[in-house]
Amino acid sequence: MNIRLSRSIVGDAEAQAVRRVLIEDGYLGMGTEVRLFEEELAAYLERAPDQVMAVNSGTAALHLAVQAAVEPGYEVLVPSLTFVASFQAIGAAGCVPVACDAREDSATIDLNDAATRITPRTRAIMPVHYASNPAGLDATREFARKHKLRIIEDAAHAFGCRHQGRRIGSFGDVICFSFDGIKNITCGEGGCIVTADPETARRCRDARLLAVQNDTQVRYAGARSWDFDVTDQGYRYHMSNIMAAIGRVQLGRLENEFGPRRVRLAAIYRERLANLLDLAFFQNNPEDEIIPHIMPVRVLHGRRDTIKAALAEAGIPTGMHYKPNHLLSRYGGGKPALPVTERLYSELMTLPLHPGLSEDEVGHICAVLRNALR
């Protein structure tokens, strides 16, 4: 067995789509394929097409979303337990990421802790759907209403998931997805911003193309902007036709192929590793339908490193999502302390999960892990 922690699952259909762009379309930049991908994403997310902006990474999506929704210099509440991309995106927009503690049951933002970190400069909250779990989203919306904050969802893990029957991205203020190489769907690299707020959408749409005003519409008409104005800071963050062509195929494979496969493999993990003294899973709300992007578990009682080593010895790679950001030099170097996050950090271990794994392989991983824990 050659087990990988995660991987891109692409095949002939994606290769054909890329070939179509390379050979037939003859324009590799941002054009028809990106427009069609945005339209298909919008249909999937039950949104109007002008509410979805494709970009070249999830980090770019978060950066543009924060820049469009929050003035520079203001604070954004964000769980420390997230990929450094969330923090870097807030900082790139000239804002200040304020690290918050995590809930023990879901590793998502602890709103009680977040409430203690509100200042007159707080303008937004960035919940992270850790391991695809939108836990606490309703409470976050209530919290944001009460404190008059924008909500920028880091939904990098949560493409295709449903919260109480509604797809993540089909409702809410600003939602950012990632389509990097190992996400629920991939474009190679990529991401998108979703929002119903016309001004936020306009600012994101322009800023992905160096803030050249209305350049998207010009490109979709197969032309170029020669005479234009710029009022905002912009970036080269647009998606290419090659990326979009891959994404369109992947989107078509999510519901019947990738989604059920990830759900099934995660269920096997939960079933075979149930009721072990030193192992705990994060809780998903039964009313949510989750397509798990990663499979983190907690190894309790100080055993994480030895268990991780035993799995490595057996050829089973594991990960750790994530090193908390407040421990990084740039974001406080451990101050202030976030006790739950730090405890979770000492326990976290991510097991292999991707649609290319077989049920036998997951069964084997469970057997090795159970044996190591015995």
Ligand X SMILES: Cc1ncc(COP(=O)(O)O)c(C=O)c1O
Q: CB 293 → ligand X: shortest distance, Å? A: 8
The rounded distance, in Å, linking the Cα atoms of 76 and 90 is: 7
**How many residues line the site for ligand X (CB under 6 A)?**
14
Nearer CB in complex with ligand X: 136/372 = 136
Q: CB 26 → ligand X: shortest distance, Å? A: 27
| The one-letter amino acid at 284 | N
Nearer CB in complex with ligand X: 154/289 = 154
Q: CB 152 → ligand X: shortest distance, Å? A: 11
Segment lying near ligand X (by CB under 6 A), choices 44-52, 83-91, 119-127, 195-203: 83-91
Check binding of 345 to ligand X (CB under 6 A). Answer: no
Nearer CB in complex with ligand X: 205/321 = 321
**Closest residue by Cα to residue 347 from 317, 313, 302:** 302
Site for ligand X in 258-287 (CB under 6 A): none
Nearer CB in complex with ligand X: 131/209 = 131
Given 51, 67, 86, 132, the residue binding ligand X (CB under 6 A)? 86
Q: CB 178 → ligand X: shortest distance, Å? A: 3
Q: Give the containing element (helix H, strand E) for 198.
A: helix 198-207
The rounded distance, in Å, linking the Cα atoms of 174 and 152 is: 5
Q: Kindly give the residue spans of alpha helices, DSSP state H, lying in the chain.
A: 12-19, 32-44, 58-69, 84-92, 111-116, 137-147, 198-207, 215-220, 241-253, 259-272, 304-313, 339-347, 359-373
The rounded distance, in Å, linking the Cα atoms of 49 and 51 is: 5
Check binding of 83 to ligand X (CB under 6 A). Answer: yes
The rounded distance, in Å, linking the Cα atoms of 117 and 80 is: 13
Site string for ligand X, 136-165 (x = CB under 6 A): ------------------x-xx--------
The rounded distance, in Å, linking the Cα atoms of 149 and 73 is: 15
Other beta carbons within 10 Å of 259: 21
Q: CB 276 → ligand X: shortest distance, Å? A: 27
Nearer CB in complex with ligand X: 82/350 = 82
Q: CB 78 → ligand X: shortest distance, Å? A: 10
The rounded distance, in Å, linking the Cα atoms of 76 and 65 is: 12
Q: From residue 101, how far is each of 78, 155, 187, 328 by CA, in Å?
A: 9, 18, 32, 15
Classify strands 96-100 and 295-299 as parallel, antiparallel or unpaired. Answer: unpaired
Residues 203, 209, 211: CA angle, nearest 5 degrees: 50
Q: Tokens for 232, please give them.
A: 């905002």
Q: CB 237 → ligand X: shortest distance, Å? A: 11
List, in order, residues 6 or more apart from 107 with CB less than 8 Å away.
79, 81, 130, 131, 133, 282, 296, 344
List, in order, residues 6 or more apart from 245 with CB less than 8 Å away.
14, 17, 18, 20, 21, 33, 37
Site for ligand X in 106-135 (CB under 6 A): 128
Q: Which residue is nearest to ligand X (CB)?
A: 58
Given 51, 57, 122, 240, the residue binding ligand X (CB under 6 A)? 57
Q: CB 213 → ligand X: shortest distance, Å? A: 26
Nearer CB in complex with ligand X: 344/372 = 344
Check binding of 59 to ligand X (CB under 6 A). Answer: yes
Nearest 5°: phi and psi at 236? -90, 75
Check binding of 191 to ligand X (CB under 6 A). Answer: yes
Q: CB 107 → ligand X: shortest distance, Å? A: 11
List, in order, residues 6 or more apart from 358 with CB less than 8 Å away.
none
Nearer CB in complex with ligand X: 86/241 = 86
Q: CB 180 → ligand X: shortest distance, Å? A: 4
Given 58, 79, 234, 296, the residue binding ligand X (CB under 6 A)? 58
Check binding of 82 to ligand X (CB under 6 A). Answer: yes
Nearer CB in complex with ligand X: 95/307 = 95
Q: Is the peptide bond before 322 cis (omega within 30 degrees of 0)?
A: yes
Check binding of 85 to ligand X (CB under 6 A). Answer: yes
| The one-letter amino acid at 90 | I
Where on the chain is the footprint of ligand X (CB under 6 A)? 57-59, 82-83, 85-86, 128, 154, 156-157, 178, 180, 191
